[in-house]
Amino acid sequence: MPDDLHASAMSDATAGAMDPTVHAVQPQAMQPLNSLLLLLNLHQEARQAQTVEALRFVMVNQTRRLIAYRQAAFVTLSPSGRARLEAVSNVAAPDRDAPFSRWLDAAASAVAVGTEGRTAHVVSPSDLPPALTREWSHWGPAQALWVPLPGPDDTVGAALWIARDDVWTEGEQVLLGQLAGGYGHCWWALTRAGRRKGLRVRKGLWALLAVALIGGVLSIPVPQSTLAPAEVTPRDPLIVSAPLEGVIERFHVQPNEAVVAGQPLFDFEATVLRSRFEVARKALTSAEAEHLTAAQGAFADPQSKARLAQLKAQVDLRRAELAFARDLLDRVTVKAERAGIAVFTDVNDWLGKPVAVGERIMTLADPQAAEIDVHVPVGDALVLEEGAEVSLFLNVDPLRPLHARVVHASYEPGMTPSGVLAYRVRAELEPGEPTPRIGLRGTAKIQGERAPLAFYLFRRPLAALRQAVGL
């Protein structure tokens, strides 16, 4: 529509020039109208520009339709005021390394500094530093006009450097100031949309990079491990159990006391056993006397001779009872079968307590032969293989772990003394490791097979989910 108006205005102007009656007034009336139509037309072209390249072309080349000039350059301005040449009239793509480009960058940067850089004004060689003033005649016409392009937020992110040989009139500066407002708004809108698009693209790329990075990290193979309570126990201990049924009368040793082979450990209450022994001994004496009487009378009394076999059996029975009573009496004092450390809880836990035959009382352990007894809960269990690495962190010294190797892992779980269903794992200390005191407790870390980090982190949640949904 503005082009049609422009054509109509030009036709009217031509007709007016041919008509003598209007020749005196028509040119003065039509010149402002033509400028206004051209100004509106340039605003429309700037608004219709779809890319920053198209907008730059309009600003440096199409502005010549409104204002005559020899050269126009478009520069962008950084927040610090540094200028960068982006487009030049009649040039498709300016060379960034050309001497003219470097000179114009420096000249525009010098003009953009300060408050004057925010308003349109004529630039003279004296406004520039001496080094740039000397090169002015090599790179540009005598007259230059600085036209900043403010956005709607009043920020100046770009400017036009327009040069020609003729002096700039006040009316031309007013027209370029009006045009600069439209150019600046269009430039602000396009660059803002480009920044938003670029920001979205960068955010998408960063998101993809983050996903790829997280995926790469989660796929890193790491050794699986599990933590479980552990205790230092003796290796191949000798279990001392009750040899008979009775009540423990006293102990000859204290817990964790070193003993030698043959040393008495504890005694049973022997009153009943001694009584049983005396009864058995007297019963044997009576049976032997009765058997002797019958044997002496067998020569004259056939009936006594017939009872000899029965009485002989009674003597053998009483003799066996006496031997059994003597054997029980010999077991009243339990002695150590080998040297070691007497491992049991407390003397007062056993004194006066009735025990059954075979009930465990204590163990004899070699203090230099210790192993690690680990109870791995079923929920934390992993594939336990012989030779797996074990690190024991004792409660008394958690900063210096002891290193061991798995030598046995049970196939079926069992209940621990604390009521937890767990697998029992035994581990032997590595050569050179100090032997800890038997009975110390701590936490054992068992190393398993290598698996992706994702499986290591989400193994328990996945197991819980599988148990919940049944898959």
Q: Are residues 294 and 442 in the same domain?
A: no
* Encoded amino acid at 451, one letter: A
| DSSP assignment string, 387-440 | T-EEEEEETTEEEEEEEEEEEEE-SS-EE-TTS-EEEEEEEEEPTTPPPPPTT-
The Cα 114–Cα 123 span in angstroms is 14
Q: Are residues 131 and 252 in the same domain?
A: no
The Cα 428–Cα 341 span in angstroms is 19
| Residue 10 belongs to some domain of the structure | no
Cα dihedral: 321, 322, 324, 330 (round 10): 160
Q: Are residues 458 and 370 in the same domain?
A: yes
Q: Which residue has the tokens 């920053």?
A: 52
Q: Are residues 313 and 426 in the same domain?
A: no
Q: Are residues 307 and 434 in the same domain?
A: no
- CATH number of the domain that residue 187 is part of: 3.30.450.40
Domain residues for the domain of 281 are: 242-337+344-355
Count of C-beta atoms within a 10 Å radius of residue 375: 22
Structure tokens at 459: 């193994």
| Residue 21 belongs to some domain of the structure | no
Q: Is the distance from CB of 245 to CB of 356 less than 8 angstroms?
A: yes
Q: Are residues 375 and 231 in the same domain?
A: yes
Q: Are residues 281 and 172 in the same domain?
A: no
Q: Are residues 303 and 371 in the same domain?
A: no
| Residue 184 belongs to some domain of the structure | yes
Work out how many domains the chain is built from and give that number.
Answer: 3
| Residue 16 belongs to some domain of the structure | no
> Which among 440, 434, 428, 403 has a CA at the least distance from the CA of 229?
440
- What is residue 160's predicted lDDT score, i.e. its pLDDT? 92
Q: Are residues 190 and 251 in the same domain?
A: no
Q: Are residues 152 and 121 in the same domain?
A: yes
| Residue 211 belongs to some domain of the structure | no
Q: Are residues 182 and 83 in the same domain?
A: yes
Q: How far are the Cα atoms of 61, 226, 246 from residue 53, in angstroms, in the given order?
A: 12, 62, 106
- What is residue 197's predicted lDDT score, i.e. its pLDDT? 60
| Residue 22 belongs to some domain of the structure | no
Predicted TM-score (pTM) of the model is 0.47
| Residue 65 belongs to some domain of the structure | yes
**Along the 471 residues of the chain, how does pLDDT read in single tens digits?**
333 333 333 333 333 333 333 333 333 334 566 778 888 888 888 888 888 888 889 999 999 988 889 899 999 888 888 888 989 998 888 888 888 889 888 888 888 886 666 788 888 888 888 888 888 888 878 889 999 988 888 888 899 999 998 898 888 888 888 888 888 888 888 887 656 665 677 777 888 888 888 888 888 888 788 888 999 888 888 888 888 888 888 898 998 888 998 899 998 888 887 888 888 888 888 888 877 777 776 666 666 666 777 878 888 888 888 888 888 888 888 888 888 888 888 888 888 888 888 888 888 888 888 889 999 888 777 777 788 889 999 999 888 899 999 988 888 888 887 888 888 899 999 988 888 888 889 999 988 778 787 777 777 777 777 767 765
Three-class secondary structure of residue 123 per DSSP: strand
What phi and psi values does residue 387 have, to the nearest 5 degrees?
A: 95, 0
User: Of the residues 309, 327, 355, which one is the last residue of a structural domain?
Assistant: 355
User: Of the residues 291, 324, 355, which one is the last residue of a structural domain?
Assistant: 355
| Residue 59 belongs to some domain of the structure | yes
Q: Are residues 184 and 314 in the same domain?
A: no
- CATH number of the domain that residue 389 is part of: 2.40.30.170
> For residue 470, is it left (φ>0), alpha (ψ between -120 and 50) or beta?
left
Residue 77: in which H helix or E strand, if any? strand 71-77
Burial class (CB in 10 A: 0-12, 13-18, 19+), 290: middle
